[in-house]
Amino acid sequence: MLKNLFVVLAGTVLGGFYGGIAVLIFLTAGIAGIPVFVIPGGPGVFLTPLGGYLAGYFAGSLAAGLVCGLPTINEKKTSPSILFRVGIASFLGFALIVLCGALYMMRLNSMSFRAALFAGVVPFIIGDSIKFIVSIPLALKLRPVAARYINPDSGNGEK
């Protein structure tokens, strides 16, 4: 499932505000019944264990975007500072998604925190690690493209 990769990319590529709005639109579509989730949508989806991960989608995208900030056209992909920010932001985004999912699962199913971690985090570690590694070069490549649309005056010195 690549949804969490795209959710984190929404934040790292678009920044906190635009990434958060993009994920809210996605969540709203699912709540409205459009089949964008793994299970049938509607408001009842938040009463399933998936509900915590969906809340984590917003939290992860928003946090990743706030760490990265708005992209700029002149951003150097090889700059150590942007590489570090994108790496930290991506890690934080993925961590928040699985943590929100596990905490919600713990609450919903009256599980211990340890049991929720083993049920809601451990099975996803390998896949999310691969997605984390892939997300960094993708975000670095896409940020300047997104900047042309989000922040078009950021690179040409005009105010």
The pLDDT of residue 159 is 40
The pLDDT of residue 73 is 84
- Distances in whole angstroms, Cα of residue 122 to Cα of each of 95, 99, 128, 148: 12, 11, 10, 39
Place of tokens 């996605």: 26
- Distances in whole angstroms, Cα of residue 72 to Cα of each of 7, 23, 110, 142, 154: 20, 21, 45, 11, 6
Q: Do you know the residue count of the chain?
A: 159
CB under 8 Å to 2, separation ≥6 — which residues? 131
With a cut of 70, list the residues of the chain below it in pLDDT: 152-159
pLDDT, tens digit, for every residue of 115-128?
A: 999 999 999 999 99
* Ramachandran angles phi, psi of 63, nearest 5°: -65, -45
Q: ∠ at Cα 70 (129, 9), nearest 5°? A: 25
Q: ∠ at Cα 90 (77, 154), nearest 5°? A: 40
* Domains of the chain (ranges, CATH numbers): 3-150 (1.10.1760.20)
The pLDDT of residue 156 is 52
The pLDDT of residue 75 is 83
The pLDDT of residue 46 is 85
Structure tokens at 83: 């590489």
For residue 70, give the nearest of 107, 19, 22 by alpha carbon: 19
The pLDDT of residue 1 is 76
